[in-house]
Structure 1
Amino acid sequence: MREKKPYGMSEKEYEIVELLRKLDINRPVALTLACLSSGEEITSREIEKNSSLRQPEVSIAMRYLKDNNWVNIREEKKTEGKGRPVKLYKLITPLEEIVQSIEQRVILESRSVLSNIEKLKRLA
């Protein structure tokens, strides 16, 4: 069953999300990657709005993207009022390379599964 497309997301971005989900990428990471796919710098707040994710989900997704060295995080002081600086996010690894990385992981996992099936056949 197809999930409802978040309000702030284009059809292309949502197609990216659906394909990433089929590759076993968790929902918050897939939605966050789609929001960042334009290559533009974007705030956490904009990601929340466009993806319909809650702030903690965006933070968890960002940690995953940062751990994979796919995103740059920059803080900018607010021009008005008090409070924490605004965090700005931008992909530093092109989406094409991220897809290749996911492809390599899927290929390795598939080889492992096929190897285990072959072992089971020999034991049967």
Structure 2
Amino acid sequence: NVEEATSREIEIGSNLRQPEVSIAMRTLRNNNWVEEREIKKDGKGRPMKIYRLTISLSDIIKHFEDEKRKESAKTLESIERLKELSRSLSVTP
């Protein structure tokens, strides 16, 4: 519900641990769904990364729903082929 956020803010807001946020951010970056910029912190240390979605969260969710539907359809298709194969191999006494 914000325009942009740091990894830490994402951790807190989503109730996820840092490794889980890192995995999610990698997926978002790989799909070009997030922009990232850096700001320097006061003092020493690495710059802080700020993230902003480039598409809506609902579009991202729809992508994953569609992906899972396709996977399920392939799995069901494979099961049907196995059923057909088992019927054709069945020997009736």
Normalising by structure 2, report the TM-score.
0.77
Q: CA contact under 8 A between 1:48 and 1:58: conserved in structure 2?
A: yes
Indicate how the Cα distance of structure 1 residues 115 and 92 shifts in structure 2: closer, same or farther if over 3 A, else same: same
Instruction: Say which SS state the counterpart of residue 11 (structure 2) adopts.
Output: helix
Q: How many residues align structurally? A: 86
Residues in 1 aligned to 2:49 and 2:17: alpha-carbon distance in whole angstroms: 15
Q: Report whether the alignment pairs 1:55 with 2:18.
A: yes
Task: Report what 1:71 is aligned to.
Answer: 34
Indicate how the Cα distance of structure 1 residues 105 and 121 shifts in structure 2: closer, same or farther if over 3 A, else same: same
Q: Structure 1 stretches (4+) deviating beyond 6 angstroms?
A: none
Q: CA contact under 8 A between 1:48 and 1:55: conserved in structure 2?
A: yes
Indicate how the Cα distance of structure 1 residues 39 and 51 shifts in structure 2: closer, same or farther if over 3 A, else same: closer
- Kindly state the Cα deviation for residue 100 of structure 1 after the two structures are TM-superposed: 1.8
- Structure 1 or 2, whichever has the larger Rg, is 2
From 65, 73, 83, the counterpart of 1:121? 83
Gaps of 5+ in 1: 1-37
Residue identity in the other structure for 2:53: L
Percent identity between matched residues is 56
Indicate how the Cα distance of structure 1 residues 75 and 105 shifts in structure 2: closer, same or farther if over 3 A, else same: same
- Kindly state the Cα deviation for residue 87 of structure 1 after the two structures are TM-superposed: 0.6
Q: CA contact under 8 A between 1:76 and 1:86: conserved in structure 2?
A: yes
Indicate how the Cα distance of structure 1 residues 102 and 44 shifts in structure 2: closer, same or farther if over 3 A, else same: same
Indicate how the Cα distance of structure 1 residues 55 and 111 shifts in structure 2: closer, same or farther if over 3 A, else same: closer
Residues in 2 aligned to 1:113 and 1:123: alpha-carbon distance in whole angstroms: 15
Q: CA contact under 8 A between 1:73 and 1:88: conserved in structure 2?
A: yes
